[in-house]
């Protein structure tokens, strides 16, 4: 039986798209749903393009009810992937899916992690601190922002004169290249 993936995203969903592309014709796994807290998120259009169902939820539904947990349990989800999802994951979801929730972070954790450290905020801080390298981290999710066990890291060099857009582009290249492969490898390690 195919492993079943749920993707949470809050925005454009370029990494969600790479995952949907990667698993579209995969014999071992499939993306079964896209979830978002943002009714305007472009990821909803991307899901529609792949004919993958989506679910929009409110803050109340996510944090005060078990609706999202129930939905994921009913879909028999094996792995939850956070791809640009900006809310802290509630205890109810962590308990229902122990060691089955992963996140992609646009820096080399433990540096540049925590509340408010996402997207351009991360890249700006890296440039302001004149770092010579940056990268991506794929990690398990726990009750704190960006503190779960690290699964994978990839690095890139920051050249003198690199702008925010260049640093962001270098990071996205790593994300798009590594994220689907790491998700696939993780699914293969999971027990049926």
Tell me how far CA of residue 58 lies from CA of 39, 77, 121, 143, 154, in angstroms. 9, 20, 24, 20, 34
Q: In whole angstroms, what is the distance from residue 4 CA to residue 38 CA?
A: 23
Question: Which residue's entry shows tokens 């529609």?
Answer: 48
Range 166-192 average pLDDT: 94
Q: What is the pLDDT, as a whole number, of residue 190?
A: 87
pLDDT of residue 192 exceeding 80: no
Find out whether 136 and 105 touch, Cβ atoms under 8 Å: yes
Query: Residue 55 pairs with which residues in a beta bridge?
Result: 35
Range 125-147 average pLDDT: 96
pLDDT, one tens digit per residue, over 13-48 is 999 999 999 999 999 999 999 999 999 999 999 999
Q: Structurally, how many domains does the chain consist of?
A: 1
- CATH number at 176 reads 3.40.50.170
| Mean pLDDT (the chain, rounded) | 96
> Which token pair is 100?
């089955």
pLDDT of residue 177 exceeding 70: yes
123 is known as an active-site residue: no
Q: In whole angstroms, what is the distance from residue 58 CA to residue 37 CA?
A: 6
Q: How many CB atoms lie within 10 A of CB 169?
A: 13
φ, ψ for residue 137 (rounded to 5)? -130, 130
Instruction: Give me the percent of the chain exceeding a pLDDT of 90.
Output: 97
Residues at the binding site are 13-15, 59, 103
Residue 15, SS3 per DSSP: helix
Can you give the residue range of the structural domain that contains 36? 3-189
Active-site entry in 22, 60, 105, 152: 105
Grade residue 179 by pLDDT with cuts at 50, 70 and 90: very high
Count of residues in the chain: 192
pLDDT, one tens digit per residue, over 110-126 is 999 999 999 999 999 99
Range 57-66 average pLDDT: 97
């Amino acid at each position: 039986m195919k492993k079943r993936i749920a993707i949470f995203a809050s925005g454009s969903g370029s990494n969600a798209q790479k995952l949907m592309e990667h698993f579209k014709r995969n014999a071992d796994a499939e993306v079964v749903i896209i979830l978002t807290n943002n009714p305007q998120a472009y990821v909803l259009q991307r899901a529609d393009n792949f004919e993958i169902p989506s679910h929009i939820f409110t803050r109340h539904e996510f944090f005060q009810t078990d609706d999202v947990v129930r939905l994921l349990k009913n879909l028999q989800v094996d792995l939850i992937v956070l791809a640009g999802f900006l809310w802290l994951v509630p205890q109810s979801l962590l308990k229902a899916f122990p060691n089955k929730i992963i996140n992609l972070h646009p820096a080399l954790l433990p540096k540049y992690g925590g509340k408010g450290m996402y997207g351009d905020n991360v890249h700006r801080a890296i440039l302001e601190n004149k770092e010579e390298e940056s990268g991506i981290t794929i990690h398990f999710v726990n009750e704190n922002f960006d503190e779960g066990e690290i699964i994978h890291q990839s690095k890139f060099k920051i050249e003198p004169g690199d702008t925010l857009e260049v640093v962001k582009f270098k990071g996205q290249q790593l994300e798009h290249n590594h994220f689907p492969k790491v998700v696939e490898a993780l699914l293969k390690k999971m027990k049926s």
